Amino acid sequence: MSSAGFRALAHARPNGRSVRACATRRFSPCCAPHQTVHGIGGMSRANKAGSGQETATGFPFADPSSVTGLRPTPPPPGSRALLRAMWFVVTALGCSDRATNAAPPAADIDLRSSSRAVLPDTFTYVSSLRPLSDGSVLITDPREQRVEQFRFDGSRGIAVARQGLGPHEWSRAVGLVSACGDRNFQFDPAARRLHLFERTRVVRVFAPDRTPAVGALLAGAAGDSVIYFVQPPPPPVTERSDLRLGDSLALVRVRLRSLAHDTVAMLRDAPGRVVRGADESGVLQPVAIARPAFAAGEQAAAFCDGWVAIVRVDPYRVEWRSPDGDVQRGPLVSQSPRVLTDAMKQDYLDATADQRQALASAPPAVRSALLARFEEFPTQLPPITTFALIAADDGLLYVRKPRLPSDVGQQYDLFDRSGSRVAILTLAPSEQLIAATRSHLFTVITGSLDEQLVARYARPRVRPLGDDP
């Protein structure tokens, strides 16, 4: 065979797909178990005739020039049959190492000994942190009803806006969610108020008919006109005080201008049950949610460009959904199962002894239900924990992993827009990530007396979106 024929073999694929693209984990059916689906429940979208491009997800498919900078050399006349036979041999060889190609090792990022800047203020519970373009941050502490602006220059915090029920006031110091740039949403489910912050001012308060229902959890926003929230199913009409939680949660998108809403996806909820008690009028109301130890369900996070990340738990992988409904399913994340031993369970019980003691004054029904989390254990740890997702401003997704008391660090999986895990971040056991930008990572440090500090790290090098691996 001529040298031109071998060059053609290096690129030849049905539909113009490239063997060399196997190294990028984007194209090859044997080394990239990604699946692009058109619509929320739609059919697989075929490649454009001739070009092999999949434009819906924003990633180039099957065009070697978009990856290697080369155009495929056409095969010489009379060699097509030989090329076809050799293509099957190359495909078989490429697929024989499927596990290696589909899930390459992720980079390790360890910040436990890295330098950091720490705010001088202490907090009782930091529920959210939102970086602003001038280098300052907004921090909410619901236990102290604080919404304040801080700078990492040693100065004290400055109160933001004002608490109240007026048109430019926030009702409670609940968490902030990015609405792109210096705009952030704040949803108070008890007051059914949705606040829009611009830097340090509340510029708009949305009426109850434009806010999520009670019990919903704000999952993110696409600009200041679209919000996403996770909505549990309505409780059944019953006189029982102990109800099993529903199996599924709905991820709902709401367009604030038109009030149009649609269900983007369904999420499998963590096992658990709702404990209800009678209020002053005798009506049963939810008072607590009881879940077994380490229970975690599927979760979603919306980014300000309209993309949504969904973390599936069994099997563990990340699924991306574009603003127009296309689905990009990432590869399965391989990891060694962590089987819970009796010693691990005892370490967990010892570390949570104070929490069990605090339940002594709770009503009997609530106490017995909440004690279940200290008595029911899974066979092995799930891949993620509750409230695990951090939607970074650069489009990366950080997923917190469960941590046992004996672990020497808190770990996070980092995923890019292809659904591939690109890095594993390790923090000190007392730290949790709370926000991430292109230049910095922000963490919350919990002390021995449960006091909390906020730290800032320079963000280590992580492969930017769109870069080839």
**Separation CA 102–CA 248 (nearest Å):** 29
> CA end-to-end span of the chain, whole Å?
32
Least confident stretch, 50-54, 152-156, 293-297, 327-331: 50-54
Nearest to 71 by CA among 79, 62, 83: 62
- Give the residue carrying structure tokens 């949660």: 249
Is pLDDT of 416 > 90? Answer: yes
What pTM was computed for the model?
Answer: 0.73
Count helices and strands in the chain by DSSP H and E runs: 6, 29
- Alpha-carbon distance 214 to 435, whole Å? 26
* Burial profile 324-338: b = 16 or more Cβ within 10 angstroms, e = fewer: eebbbbbbebeeeeb
Rounded Cα–Cα distance for residues 73 and 92 (Å):
22
> What would the DSSP string read from start to end of 128-146?
EEEE-TTS-EEEEETTTTE
pLDDT at 457 over 90: yes
Task: Report pLDDT digits (tens) over 116-151.
Answer: 999 999 999 999 999 999 999 999 999 999 999 999
- Residue 390: predicted pLDDT: 95
Query: What's the order of all strands across the beta sheet hosting 327-329?
Result: 35-37, 327-329, 317-321, 308-312, 299-302
Top-confidence residue, 248 or 26: 248
The confidence score (pLDDT) of residue 242 equals 52
Task: Name the helix (H) or strand (E) containing 356.
Answer: helix 353-358
Q: What is the DSSP letter of 163?
A: B
Alpha helices per DSSP H over 75-137: 80-95, 98-102
User: Which pLDDT band, with edges at 50, 70 and 90, does 54 fall under?
Assistant: very low
Pick the more confident residue, 240 or 380.
380
Distance (Å, rounded) from C-alpha 94 to C-alpha 90?
Answer: 6
> Which whole number is the average pLDDT over 69-74?
34
Distance in angstroms (rounded) separating the CA atoms of residues 9 and 87: 7
Average pLDDT over residues 11-39: 34
In tens, the pLDDT along 88-104 reads: 433 343 443 333 334 55
Q: Which of 154-168, 181-195, 373-387, 445-459 is least confident?
A: 154-168
DSSP letter for each residue of 165-232: SSTT-BSS-PPEEE-STTEEEEEETTTTEEEEEETTEEEEEE-GGGSPPTT-EEEEEETTTEEEEEEP
Classify 44 in phi/psi space as left (phi over 0), alpha (psi -120 to 50) or beta.
beta
What CA–CA distance (Å, rounded) separates 468 from 456? 29
pLDDT band at 208 (very low <50, low <70, confident <90, very high): low
Average per-residue pLDDT for the chain: 75
Report residue 397: phi and psi, to 5°: -115, 125
174-184: pLDDT as tens digits:
899 999 999 99
Residue 221 clears pLDDT 90, i.e. is over it:
yes
CA dihedral 414, 451, 289, 315 (to 10 degrees): 20
Please give the backbone phi and psi of residue 31, each rounded to the nearest 5 degrees, phi first: -120, 5
